[in-house]
Homo-oligomer: A and B are copies of this chain.
Amino acid sequence: MKHKDGLTIGELAARTGLAVSAIRYYEAQGLIRPWRNPGGQRRFQRADLRRLSFVMISQQFGFSLPEIRALLDQLPGGRTPTAADWAAIGTEFRQVLDARIQTLQKLRDNLDGCIGCGCLSLPRCQLFNPDDQASRKGKGPRYLMGDSPV
């Protein structure tokens, strides 16, 4: 008589590869909302496997948990998310991803230029900021990649 009331946290952990403690932590951060069985134990939907996969992937891309939460909050609350629901998030996600790829490529190309021309100390080298150019741009750390995802 198993399997009628949803997945246990242990099953979810085994299937996602996450630690049980991590899943509980994610719940605390509002990334996932299991219900409780009469004994107070967490029970998860199969759709939560996808939610957690999404969390793991997003982390790989450098999203913080609050950012991921904001993305997940776009999923419908009442019903199980459909492919279309996920796709809506995916589109947004993909735009950030494209931007990151471009930034990386730009940096790589700068790096190529530097190596190719030996210009590491020239003013036009934008990667190894030569001696001083950064000081022209005012205070605070420079964010070399257009960061702030989402």
Copies of the polypeptide in the assembly: 2
Q: Which of the 9-residue segments A26-34, A35-43, A101-109 touches chain B? A: A101-109
Interface size on A, residues (CB 8 A): 55
Q: Which residue of B lies closest to A22 (CB)?
A: B141
Q: Mark A10-23, 1 if CB is under 8 A from B, else 0.
A: 00001111110000
Q: List 9 A-B contacts (CB under 8 A).
A: A46-B131, A53-B134, A57-B144, A83-B121, A87-B114, A93-B111, A94-B108, A97-B104, A97-B107
Q: Which residue of B lies closest to A139 (CB)?
A: B17
Q: Indicate if the CB atoms of B140 and A17 lie closer than 8 Å.
A: yes
Q: Indicate if the CB atoms of B118 and A87 lie closer than 8 Å.
A: yes
